[in-house]
Structure 1
Amino acid sequence: MIGVVLMANRRDALAARREALGFTQESFAIRLGVELSTVGRWERGTLTPQPWRRRRIAEALDVSLERLDELLAPATGIALPTHVPTRLEANRRFDRAVVVDDARDAARFARQIIAASVSSSALEQISVEIGRFAADYVSKPLSELFVDIRELRGEVVNLVECNRFPDQMRELYLAASRLGGLQAHICLDLGHYSAAHTHAHTAFLCAELAGHNGMRAWVRGLQSLIAYWDGQLADAVEFAQDGARHCSRGSIAARLPSLEARAWAGRGDKRGALGALERAAHARAAVGDHDDDAGVFTFPAAKQAVYAGTTLLTLGDRDTTTRAAQESSYALQLYEAAAPADRSTGDMLAARLDLGRAYLMRDDLDGLADQLNVVLAVPQVRRTASIVKRVAGIGEDLTQSRYARSPQGKQIRTEIASFCAPPPALPPAPTMEPA
């Protein structure tokens, strides 16, 4: 009879505390990672929790270890031992129930591991999808890519949070870095610089966890690009220089000094800009146009010519302006000779704007108009924040030129103001037609 009372008291006290916190036996078992029957046996007093598990039970019940002792043995007032048993004591207390419970816990852990694994085919498919996004990003509007990139990144992040396999984790972190980089690029093109910085920072952390130098270098280049358009020119230089520490091969070796050169030019440092352009040219000669990657993750010679044109134009003297026009023209020639899927709409527009600005600096208003007309005809979904900034800059230059009050100058300025009025944006999501 006494034994029955003791077990009843134990059941009532432990169960009452559990229920007071809103746990059912099942939810409490899930919380602790044990079988439902184990909780029932604790409350009936037929099983004493192992010492290493008692701390977790106390935390779940929000009580001290001393209070847990009282809940487990309230009728006797005798506290259970709080020390970890010696091997001899543990051996004496072994029984079949303990062995079975431990085996069940091991089986549960194994099921969690198996459920968290990712098949090799799934990893391969993720890589293929990212490659497609990177290739399409060069020539397609953001509206065709934004949703798919965002959704796949969410799926990859979920896999990272669940996975337990080191080799797969490296691949998943690399995928997360690439997708995060694409999202940062989208934010940059939309003019959301703070969000772009955040995505790029996260992408770099993922590249670090993946241990991938190529991705480290690419993201540093992206961070330099974001800083440049955000007006943080000193940071743009530092990001590009830091990226060079990780760069071992591929066209990224030419991209980083090209980014650095443009930032130096923006700061008015001609020596730094020309030195970086020279390093970019040497890097291009070493790697050519061969790359293991594709699309936005590469830096073709045409894009390098665009960057060189912008750098030389920004320096602003007669010699560099002439060279800038040559680089911009060369970039357009290379892109026009490339396959349609490899033609970067943004870079071609940038080259035309730089060429038009060079014409304006040489007092050739007709030459400016010819290049500008192509850009101003581009629909809103193909306009990026950087293109809008370039066009606005030409409008400011035109206002300060001798053509400011001429009929043609006024007409061009009106067209520029109209082009720059709506911010770059994704089109609204399509509405569902009623059934």
Structure 2
Amino acid sequence: MGDRRTAFAARREAMGYTQETFAAELMVESCTVSRWERGEVAPQPFRRPRIAKALGVTLHELGTLLEQAPASARYAATVAVVPPDLAEADDMNRRDLLRLFSATGAMLALPSAAGDATRAAAAASGGALDAAAAEEFVKHLWRVYGLASNKSQVLPLVRTQLDVLTDALRQSQAPAIRQRLCQLAADLFQLAGEIYFDGDRYTDAAHCYTLAADASKEAGAPDLWACALTRHAFIAVYERKFADAAPLLELAASLASRGDADLSTRHWVAAVQAETFAGLGDLDACQRALDTAAEVQHLTGQVHNGGWLRFDGSRLAEERGTCYVTLGRLDLAEAALADALTGPLTTRRKAGVLTDLAMIGVHRADPDQVITYAEAVLATARQTGSGVVARKLRGLQPHLAPLLADQNIQRLDAEIADLVSGHAA
């Protein structure tokens, strides 16, 4: 048994990787990463350039991290090359991604310059097979994203894959291959946007969704394009800028009508439109949109892909509840939200339902109901560190003002303020 490679493991953690996500980045088994870190084996030379790139170090610095040195020397190596905290590593990932966004966006804006001979050569060289492998890896990234407790851990993987796609887009490609690469870029931009949205970085998320829409348009993929626009519009909905969301969603609905009728794209667009109409105070339009969204239950087969499209109607009860709370129809809202709580909910979705129930307590001037539900959401926010959950509490906080004579509401207000300020820091 060799000495543990403490510095190597610390660098991996500082870059936001778990052993599992680091293994996925390098296309090895997680047990291989574990064996490297335990000092049982050393990475093969052919793997080291990719490892160094993932860790953001030179090959020489990687060699230092892998040295089987005494603890004091390993500690010195850690101090020398590991960022002082995860926030610095996260900011490094963000800067790299923004640089890649600019580069990839520029590649998407350039028409393919491949002549017939170059196109034939690209097809013969297995470019389609490379695109297929990349597509499978992007699907894997969505699965990793869904399982990760800290969504920002997936950013290094997205960054690396965008690097690969940008390099491919720089080269002359057959039209069909270029179209597939644009689809993959749109897929990755939507995933990056989801990560930034979860981290409360709405400007970065909006930039991602804009690039996703551009790439989808270039790929001629209306469903993918509609989903990118819907995600972009949802930022405005989340910030209660409903008038800004409406035209984006109208365009998304038009695109979805040209897409695959077996997919749930148009129904998801309608669900977000319902929330927008609720914010605009239009009950009739909201109800019509909710009815359109509910038609997803009549579709058969695989109605979504689990990545950029995940709408299957399972959230309709909570979405109805949110709309009715916004419209002030508390009787309808409470029934819908109670129905939502009986179904399987993720932690974040449950937090959203509980926040809406707390809001009903505010409307009813019922401090006990507010405290019961809001404290459960606070516990979730502290446990997960989710920007989405923190944002829901931030939206609830201003409505507590009429109830601040109650000491428990004062305490709740202070705890939400502490959480929100800590999240912003």
Instruction: Tell me which interval the TM-score lies in, with the shorter structure as reference length.
Output: 0.5 to 0.7
* Separation of aligned partners in 2, 1:348 and 1:246: 31
Q: Is residue 308 from structure 1 mapped to residue 320 from structure 2 by the alignment?
A: yes
What's 1:354 paired with? 356
Structure 1 residues 289, 174: CA separation in 2 closer, same or farther (over 3 Å shift)? same
Structure 1 residues 296, 202: CA separation in 2 closer, same or farther (over 3 Å shift)? closer
Letter in 2 for 1:393: G
Query: Which consecutive segments of 4 or more residues in structure 1 shift more than 4 A?
Result: 109-118
Q: Is residue 251 from structure 1 mapped to residue 264 from structure 2 by the alignment?
A: yes
Deviations 1:174-200 (A, max 9, x none): 000000111122222223222222221
Deviations 1:254-301 (A, max 9, x none): 2111111111222222232222222222x2233268424014521132
Q: Is residue 129 from structure 1 mapped to residue 137 from structure 2 by the alignment?
A: yes
* Separation of aligned partners in 2, 1:241 and 1:321: 28
Correspondence 1:23-42 to 2 at 5 A: none
Letter in 1 for 2:166: V
Structure 1 residues 155, 161: CA separation in 2 closer, same or farther (over 3 Å shift)? same
Q: Is residue 327 from structure 1 mapped to residue 319 from structure 2 by the alignment?
A: no
What's 1:4 paired with? none
Number of aligned residue pairs:
304
Does the aligned pair in 2 maintain the 1:116–1:162 contact within 8 Å?
no
* Separation of aligned partners in 2, 1:388 and 1:293: 28
Offset of 1:217 from its aligned partner? 1.7
Structure 1 residues 188, 143: CA separation in 2 closer, same or farther (over 3 Å shift)? closer
Correspondence 1:118-267 to 2 at 5 A: 119-140=127-148, 141-247=150-256, 248-267=261-280
Match of 2:371 among 363, 369, 373: 369
* Separation of aligned partners in 2, 1:182 and 1:156: 14
What's 2:287 paired with? 274
Does the aligned pair in 1 maintain the 2:242–2:276 contact within 8 Å?
yes
Does the aligned pair in 1 maintain the 2:240–2:279 contact within 8 Å?
no
Correspondence 1:83-94 to 2 at 5 A: none
Letter in 2 for 1:419: L
Indicate the SS of the match to 1:297: coil
Correspondence 1:412-427 to 2 at 5 A: 412-423=412-423
Q: Is residue 409 from structure 1 mapped to residue 409 from structure 2 by the alignment?
A: yes
Structure 1 residues 301, 289: CA separation in 2 closer, same or farther (over 3 Å shift)? farther
What's 1:46 paired with? none
Offset of 1:114 from its aligned partner? 5.0
Match of 1:291 among 287, 303, 318: 303
Indicate the SS of the match to 1:378: helix
Does the aligned pair in 1 maintain the 2:268–2:293 contact within 8 Å?
yes
Offset of 1:372 from its aligned partner? 1.9
Structure 1 residues 129, 114: CA separation in 2 closer, same or farther (over 3 Å shift)? closer
Letter in 2 for 1:152: Q
Does the aligned pair in 2 maintain the 1:176–1:206 contact within 8 Å?
yes
* 123-132 or 257-266: bigger deviation: 123-132
* Separation of aligned partners in 1, 2:186 and 2:285: 31
* Separation of aligned partners in 2, 1:163 and 1:322: 60
Letter in 2 for 1:167: A
Larger radius of gyration: 1
Structure 1 residues 289, 135: CA separation in 2 closer, same or farther (over 3 Å shift)? farther
Offset of 1:206 from its aligned partner? 0.9
CA RMSD of the aligned region, Å? 2.7
* Separation of aligned partners in 1, 2:120 and 2:203: 38
* Separation of aligned partners in 2, 1:150 and 1:116: 28
Does the aligned pair in 1 maintain the 2:152–2:199 contact within 8 Å?
no
Indicate the SS of the match to 2:419: helix
* Separation of aligned partners in 1, 2:399 and 2:278: 18
Letter in 1 for 2:173: R
Any unmatched runs of 5+ in structure 1? 1-108, 337-342, 426-435
Offset of 1:116 from its aligned partner? 11
Any unmatched runs of 5+ in structure 2? 1-116
What's 1:88 paired with? none
Offset of 1:120 from its aligned partner? 3.8
Offset of 1:110 from its aligned partner? 6.0
Letter in 2 for 1:286: H
Offset of 1:117 from its aligned partner? 5.3
Deviations 1:281-322 (A, max 9, x none): 2x2233268424014521132333332221110011xxx212
Identity of aligned residues (%): 20
Deviations 1:122-159 (A, max 9, x none): 32222222212223434422132121112212211221
Structure 1 residues 288, 304: CA separation in 2 closer, same or farther (over 3 Å shift)? farther
Indicate the SS of the match to 1:298: coil
Structure 1 residues 115, 423: CA separation in 2 closer, same or farther (over 3 Å shift)? farther
Correspondence 1:47-62 to 2 at 5 A: none
Offset of 1:214 from its aligned partner? 1.6
Correspondence 1:62-81 to 2 at 5 A: none
Does the aligned pair in 1 maintain the 2:371–2:409 contact within 8 Å?
no
Give the TM-score taking structure 2 as reference length: 0.65
Letter in 1 for 2:319: Y
Does the aligned pair in 1 maintain the 2:206–2:235 contact within 8 Å?
yes
